[in-house]
């Protein structure tokens, strides 16, 4: 099968997704064109609508089709308890797994100056503004324990200091079903440091 200019453009366009190389891109392109033209049109339409209509919630920065997302505008949610997550996927996981009834703030990343991501890129001023408004009493940091995660957590806790907000962080340690001997030393050290009464 010869590659026409349009097909070449489609393959190139599919490669914009993370983890999609030239081979997977052509596989996807052939599949969409040969087997699933209807779904391909549907995908194109949904993608266009999503890009046009999905913005960020002005309060928590999560994806939202309205200025205020459904969580931020839900009056049954506690407004004095805030959980800070890195991305929408973590928010969904947290909200699904635990019966958290507070609100969220979505950073959309972690502070990583070496990747060009600073406080400005993460909209830290927006979070500071929420703290300044004075309603929040406790802020739970649900941030991954990597170097960038540590820097992010440190930055946010420094920022929260003048507002007298209680800052907590998700415990770190042994995962459920984890074998102790297969843990790396960092995880094991954390688990030991954060041990508690039994």
Partner 1 sequence: MSQAQEDEAYVLHSRPWRETSLLLEVITANHGRLGLVARGARRGKGQAGVLQAFHFLQLRWSPRGELHTLIGAEEIEPLRLPASILPAALYLNELLLNLLARHDECGPVYSIYHHALRRLQAAAALEPVLRDFELDLLDALGFGLTLDKECLDGAAVDPGLWYLYQPRQGLIKIPETVENAMLGHICLAIAARDWSDSATRRAAKRLLRRVLDVHLGQRALRTRELLRGLARMQQRKDRASVEDHGSEASSPQ
Measured CA to CA, the distance from residue 42 to residue 29 in angstroms comes to 15
Characterize 73-110 residue by residue with b for buried, 16 or more Cβ atoms within 10 angstroms of its Cβ, and e for exposed: eeeeeeeebbbbbbebebbeebeeeeebebbbbbbbeb
Does 175 participate in binding partner 1 (rule CB under 8 A)? no
Task: Choose the stretch contacting partner 1; rule: CB under 8 A; options: 48-56, 84-92, 96-104, 116-124.
Answer: 116-124
Does 186 participate in binding partner 1 (rule CB under 8 A)? yes
- For the chain, the first-to-last Cα distance in angstroms comes to 66
Judged by CB under 5 A, the residue of 26, 59, 90, 152 near Zn ion is 59
- Contact of residue 162 among partner 1, Zn ion, none (CB under 5-8 Å per partner type): partner 1
**Contact assessment for residue 77 and residue 68, using Cβ atoms and an 8 Å cutoff:** no
Query: Site residues for partner 1, window 16-55 (CB under 8 A)?
Result: 18-19, 21
Does 184 participate in binding partner 1 (rule CB under 8 A)? yes
Tokens of 14: 């599919």
Number of Cβ within 10 Å of residue 33's Cβ equals 13
Identify which of residues 129 and 146 has a Cβ nearer to Zn ion in the complex: 129
- Residue 125 CB, shortest distance to partner 1, in Å, is 10
The SS3 of residue 16 is coil
Does 57 participate in binding Zn ion (rule CB under 5 A)? yes
Residues that bind partner 1 (CB under 8 A): 18-19, 21, 111, 113-119, 146-147, 150-151, 153-155, 158-159, 161-162, 182, 184-187, 189
Residues that bind Zn ion (CB under 5 A): 57, 59-60, 69, 72
């Amino acid at each position: 099968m010869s590659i026409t200019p349009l097909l070449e453009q489609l393959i190139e366009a599919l490669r914009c997704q993370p983890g999609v190389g030239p081979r997977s891109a052509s596989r996807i392109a052939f599949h969409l064109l040969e087997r699933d033209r209807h779904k391909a049109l549907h995908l194109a339409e949904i993608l266009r609508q999503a890009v046009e209509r999905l913005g960020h919630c002005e309060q928590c920065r999560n994806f939202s089709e309205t200025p205020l997302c459904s969580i931020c505008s839900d009056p049954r949610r506690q407004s004095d308890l805030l959980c800070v997550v890195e991305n929408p996927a973590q928010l969904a996981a947290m909200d699904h797994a635990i019966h958290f009834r507070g609100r969220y703030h979505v950073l959309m990343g972690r502070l990583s100056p070496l990747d060009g991501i600073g406080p400005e890129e993460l909209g830290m001023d927006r979070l500071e503004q929420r703290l300044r408004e004075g309603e929040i009493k406790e802020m739970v940091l649900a941030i991954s324990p990597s170097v960038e995660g540590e820097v992010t957590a440190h930055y946010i806790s420094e920022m929260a200091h003048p507002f007298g907000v209680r800052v907590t962080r998700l415990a770190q340690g042994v995962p459920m079903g984890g074998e102790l001997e297969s843990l790396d030393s960092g995880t094991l050290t954390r688990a030991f440091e954060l041990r508690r009464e039994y």
